[in-house]
Amino acid sequence: MSLSEDMVRLTQSMREAHDRRVAEVSAQRVAAGKQLADLQAEHREMATTQRKELQQFAETLRRAVSTLIHNLDVERAALNADQQSRLDAFKRDLRQDMANFFHERAAERRVANASQRQSLDDFMSALRERTGSFLADIHAARMAVRADQSSAQQVWQQFAIEQQQNRAGKPRLSADAEQRDEFNTKTRQRRSGKRQQKTPQE
């Protein structure tokens, strides 16, 4: 076999192989195009279906949310009304309780004030009585001291007179004894009067 014949067969084989490859590639391209077209059609159909389903879901959700909001509004209104009623009752009871409390405290305060006033009056009366007794004792003691001082002054004056008389040669023994008796009598009378004044006050 010659080289040219081999070359002819080789080129023929390469040409046939190329034609087969081109045909296969063309067939694959056609199949891919058909498959892509089918996918696009399915995608459009699925998108349309999903859009419809989403619209239906959105509409259903909108109605459900609207119904929920309405129910919540109704329940909130009922709850507000109930809470307002309870609050009004609580305020009313609280005002009544506070009024009763203030009334009771005012009554107790009046009783306590009256008791304290009576105790203060009793204390002031006792204080005035004790003060009067104390002042009377002081006055009696002062008068006794004054009387004692007056008697002592009289005794001293009498003693001075007697001394002058003694220097002149005229003794007065009887007068001296009489003056001492008079002083002792006055002293006993003052002491007896002081004891009589303290006895009624005690």
Residue 155 CA to residue 137 CA, distance in Å, equals: 26
Question: Whole-model pTM?
Answer: 0.35
pLDDT tens, the chain, 202 aa long:
577 777 778 888 888 888 888 888 888 888 888 888 889 888 889 999 999 999 999 999 999 999 999 999 999 999 999 999 999 999 999 999 999 999 998 998 899 889 888 988 899 989 988 898 889 888 888 888 888 888 888 888 888 888 888 777 655 444 455 555 565 565 555 555 545 544 444 4
Residue 83 CA to residue 91 CA, distance in Å, equals: 12
Half-sphere exposure of 52 (CA within 13 A, CB side): 5
